Structure 1
Amino acid sequence: MASVLLSKLDVGYLEKCSGDSGINYGIIIGQNIKPESFLVVHLAKNCEEDMEILLKGNENELSQGPTCIAEISSQALATQWISASKMCPGSFNVQGVFVTSEKQNLDDENTYLAAKKMLHNLQTILIQSNVFCASIDEDNLTLIFLAYSAANKKAICQGYTHDIMGGSFATMNCHFIDKPMGWHTFECCYELDEIFPIFDDSQRINIENQFQRALLAMKRSLSESEMFIENIWVDESLPLDGFVASNRKKVVNEHYKATIFLPVKCHQYNEHSVKVRKFNGTIRLSGIIFSKIWCSNRNTLGDVKRFVQTDILRSLAARIQVYCDGLTDPHVTNDSVFISEPPRRVFFNLFADGTVNPIQFSEYIFRGEAPTVAVAQAKQVLDLDISLENIIADLEGLPDDEIFSDVSLSNLQKNSAQPIVNTAKYLTRSMYILSITISLLVLLCSIWLHYFFA
């Protein structure tokens, strides 16, 4: 039977949420440590009712939050789910929904029917949302539904499996961890410089579809890459605790450096190995992506590699999503030139009862934006109270101003308008001229020598 691991801090947070009136709900962020074992890392209450003032017919009467599971907004959960997915490191995912109540008994058939309908609507919205992160993250086959009632101090877990008929529930065990989990930090500074051709021959190209293809191409390339940790190639099947024991850094929460080497594809020349295709444009992605993931001793080095790859792709997808959200029209002409500076990544720690958690989540801010944007997002999406001092904003630097200046754009347009020169043709002509010149010099030398010795 599948199990869910909760810490004492998680139980305390559920108690706090259930102390409010009515029904409170939110998302579960965790990690699959085994095929049927889920470790809860963070619980985040949905703060939509706290951020908005909803009025009923009488303007002086404030509307109440949901009083039962059937009144929970699946759209509000989906919005929080998508936003939190961008902020999670690659080692964690949004894996389910929790519901708390102060007085209601949440262990009955009506609760399960309402929860099943809510999760079905939520999963349908996520599938139809067409978010870039959805094409990167692996689909969660099982979603966790956690119900906690303060009346009987009882937590109930169910595993939801989605299908078109409404889905189904399977019972899951709740286990409580006494000791906090020890985490190891892995960092990777990934230098991105890729060019992806656009083969769409339409007059107006859907740029979102092209970004989607670029992300999938990067996903395939990273899946074939090799990873070195502390400049050492490692066996992916090796448990992480074995690696830590044999490594010189044996202290929990040490930062390990990971390096990714992309494959070099070499083809033997034959008539079928090389394909020449016409393309109508390119997408160039360049810059530095700083990646951070956290693993426990229950993970393997194969998990570390997969988590780092996921974090790089998720970070890139989040920046592309921000760019596409600002487009008034996703269709562009195939002769247009666009240069965009993506937002940079900033990190902040998790906090629980004043205790700093070594795990960090992230947010993205543009040039000129203050870190207060990350503070507001952490509260609204993750229900975290952080200060500006907790923001780590110097891991990704700002690009040079010259890259995004008007001069560079005009030079790019000027260079792109120049015709392609047939270098082979001009090289052959130069060789002919050089040969004729040498022949004339030899002829003149021969004539001079002939008359000199005559």
Structure 2
Amino acid sequence: MVRTVYSPEYCLQYLEQYASQENFVLGLILGQVTEARENIIHLARTPEEKNTDTGSESSYVSEKPEAVRNLLGVSEAWVADHAKHVTRMLPGGMFVQGIFITSDEDIFEDPNYFSKVKSVLNYTHKTLSVNQYMYANYPHSNERLILHMSTNTKVLTCKSIEVGVGKSTSIKNVDWKFVPKAQQWQRLDCYYEFDDVYPVIVKKSGISVKQQFQQILESAYKTIESSVMFIDGELKDGSEALEQLIKKKKPKNSVKSAQDTPKSMHVSLFVPFENSLPETVEYLECDGSIHFSGVVSSSVFMYPKATVSETIAAVKQDIIRSLASRFTMHCDALIDDNLLPEEKVCFNEPPRRVLVPVGSLYLCDYLFPGEAPAEALLSVKELLDLQITEGDVICDVETPADTSEFDALDRDTSSEELLATPQEASQFMYITGICFAMFVLVVSIFIHYYDSIAVCISRLLSRS
């Protein structure tokens, strides 16, 4: 059975624009894969390579681009780095599904060019798979798309190959269909609140901010994965399609309009009580603590025929991907990677999420404290090859953190009184443990001698 993908018609115009200029262009295919259908949402040209360290997270902020004349001159690391940045902007359930190319060469017939295509896709797959929380978990299969438009004939060809399987040369035909009407998406909004305290334990080898955040991310992942999702306050059957839920909500006498757009569904995640408790309880001497608090805004867009199970996976993935993106960006912006600052209290605010329009849905970007929406325009232009205005950026999905209680704290005097030293915290933990152990000892003694006490009491009562 031939694989079929559906794409908005403006993607064809996008390809023809570059093909008419007879320029070599390589970019990313972005979309969503569900059991019902595979939808492409956007094609994003990869920026021209620049004279910076391609392994760094800031490699897209530089000067002096180097023009690449054909596919053989493309850097695999540069394309993979582009895919990393773009994936951060994708909501849960959407992925980089492959690459597109406009060129005058036949990339499928020439073995040198086809070998380069496989190298680019495999390198990108390997790079993204390193961080499972941010980039991985691609659904259904490891097949990636290759879309090619000839600058000479304007003929469009799409095929797929499997990545991450060694020297596999299997290539399959793909039926690429352009849809004239804009694809309708079902939006699901979720606000997930975090309010957790994590201990900081510095070992002999030390611990960095990145290491500590990785531990927090692993803990958050386990909690979110164990949670139960309610849609509009109700627990739904995982096999049911989203469009069926929409039909059930509509009144029977309502008139269907072509201009009707599905309203957003509200999603709530609840963690079962037994899963919120730690597996083991340990008494450790801590060097400090991290109070992780705030609300993560999640907006996921799903194909209406997608199932509830697929939607659940997308929402959970969106929250984790957003956390992983913020942690990485925050750590890269730090001057000092030392986890324990000289101050008793250190307040840090990771970047907040904003939404940017792409076609009939929204992707996201992240702004650091003090940054204006204009900063998002640069990211959208550079990474997505789109022109939007400052008014298009939705900045109120998350509000800046309230730092009033930290600003009012006198770090010179009151913080010394309010914060226990690591030794004091350790003593408190041990004392709590000893009290509990004494309580258990008393109860066990009482149970052990209960029968003897009962016999003595019965004898006294009989004599009286």
TM-score normalised per structure 1? 0.79
Larger mean Cα displacement after TM superposition, 382-391 or 157-166? 157-166
Return the offset for 1:89: 0.9
Rounded Cα–Cα distance in structure 2 between residues aligned with 1:6 and 1:328: 43
For 2:138 and 2:350, how far apart are their aligned partners in 1?
A: 21
AA aligned opposite 1:144: L
Give the structure 1 partner of residue 318 of structure 2.
311
Contact residue 34 and residue 310 of structure 2 kept, 8 A: no
CA distance in 1, matches of 2:346, 2:163: 40
Which residue pairs with 1:294 in the alignment? 301
Residue equivalent to 1:181 = 183
Q: Do 1:107 and 1:156's aligned partners in 2 also have CA atoms closer than 8 Å?
A: no
Equivalences for 1:44-63 in 2 at 5 Å? 44-48=44-48, 54=64
Distance 1:201 1:195 in 2: 19
Task: Give 1:253's match in structure 2, choosing from 246, 258, 262.
Answer: 262
Task: Note closer, same or farther for the CA distance 1:279–1:143 as it changes in structure 2 (3 Å cut).
Answer: farther
Do the aligned partners of 1:191 and 1:286 also contact (CA within 8 Å) in 2?
A: yes
Query: TM-score when scaled to structure 2?
Result: 0.78
1:346 has 2:346 as partner? no
Q: What residue number does 1:88 align with? A: 90
In the alignment, structure 1 residue 263 sits paired with structure 2 residue 299: no
Partner of 2:452: none
The whole-number CA distance in structure 1 between the counterparts of 2:73 and 2:279 is: 59
**Residue 145 of structure 1 contacts residue 159 of structure 1 at CA under 8 Å; is this kept in 2?**
yes
| Displacement after TM superposition at 1:3 (Å) | 3.1
CA contact (8 A) 2:5 2:175 kept: yes
2:418 aligns with 415
Deviation at 1:404? 4.2
Aligned match for 2:117, one of 110, 115, 118: 115
**AA of the residue aligned to 1:192:** F
Corresponding residue for residue 163 of structure 2: 162
Deviation at 1:387, TM superposition (A): 0.5
Q: Quick one: structure 1 residues 408 and 96, their matched pair in 2 at CA, closer, same or farther if it must change by over 3 Å?
A: farther
CA distance in 2, matches of 1:403, 1:2: 56
1:84–1:381 contact (8 Å) kept in structure 2: yes
Displacement over 6 Å in runs of 4+: 135-140, 423-426
2:284 is the counterpart of 1:278: yes
State the AA in 2 paired with 1:40.
Answer: I
Q: Would the aligned equivalents of 1:106 and 1:148 in 2 still touch at CA under 8 Å?
A: no
Letter paired with 1:297:
P
Conserved? CA contact 1:319–1:343, under 8 Å: yes
CA distance in 1, matches of 2:415, 2:135: 33
Q: 2-side partners of 1:131 and 1:236: how far apart? A: 24
Partner of 1:388: 390
Match of 1:13 in 2: 14
Q: Which amino acid is the alignment partner of residue 264 of structure 2? A: H
Evaluate the alpha carbon distance shift between residue 327 and residue 401 of structure 1 in structure 2; reply closer, same or farther with a 3 A threshold: closer
In structure 2, what is the Cα distance between the partners aligned to 1:140 and 1:332? 39
Q: Cα distance, 1:139 vs. partner?
A: 9.9
Contact 1:339-1:409 within 8 A present in 2 as well: no
1:237 is paired with a residue of what secondary structure?
coil
* Residues 132, 321 of structure 1: 8 Å contact kept: no
Cα distance per residue 1:368-414 (max 9 Å; x no partner): 21111001100000111000110111121122132442727665564
Q: How does 1:116-155 map to 2 (within 5 A)?
A: 116-127=118-129, 133-134=134-135, 141-155=142-156
Matches within 5 A, 1:97-116: 97-101=99-103, 103-110=104-111, 111-116=113-118
| CA displacement, residues 126-166 of structure 1 (integer Å, 9 cap, x when unaligned) | 456x6962467779722222222143333222323334744
Letter in 2 for 1:87: M
Distance change (3 Å), C-alpha of 1:132 and 1:414: farther
Q: Please report how far the alpha carbon of residue 255 of structure 1 lies from its aligned counterpart in structure 2 after TM superposition.
A: 1.1
Specify every segment of 5 or more residues in structure 1 that has no aligned partner in the other structure, as ranges: 56-62, 351-356, 429-454
Deviation at 1:68, TM superposition (A): 2.1
Distance in 2 between the 1:71 and 1:78 partners? 15
CA 1:337–1:369 in 2, change beyond 3 Å: closer, same or farther?
same
> Could you tell me how far apart the structure 1 residues matched to 2:85 and 2:166 are?
28
- The aligned residue for residue 79 of structure 1 is 81
**Structure 1 residues 279 and 259, CA, compared in 2 at 3 Å: closer, same or farther?**
farther
8 Å Cα contact 2:158/2:176 also seen in 1: no
Matches of 1:77 and 1:228 in 2, distance apart? 38
Q: Give distance in 2, aligned partners of 1:43 and 1:313.
A: 24
Say whether the 8 Å CA contact 1:149–1:155 is kept in structure 2: yes
Q: Which runs of 5+ in 2 are unaligned?
A: 51-60, 439-464
Distance 2:157 2:43 in 1: 15
Alignment deviations for residues 5-52 of structure 1 (CA, whole Å, 9 cap, x no partner): 2232211111112223431011111111229x6321111011236986
Distance in 2, matches of 1:141 and 1:190, equals 30
Distance 2:246 2:216 in 1: 36
How has the CA–CA distance of structure 1 residues 131 and 371 changed in structure 2, closer, same or farther, with 3 Å as cutoff? farther
Alignment of 1:368 onto 2:370: yes
Letter in 2 for 1:265: E
Code of the residue aligned with 2:209 in structure 1: it is: I
Identity between Structure 1 and Structure 2 (%): 24
Name the CA distance, whole Å, in 2 between partners of 1:284 and 1:148. Answer: 52
Q: Letter of the aligned partner of 2:360 in structure 1?
A: P
Range that drifts further, 299-308 or 207-216: 207-216
CA gap 1:333/1:18 in 2 versus in 1, 3 angstroms: same
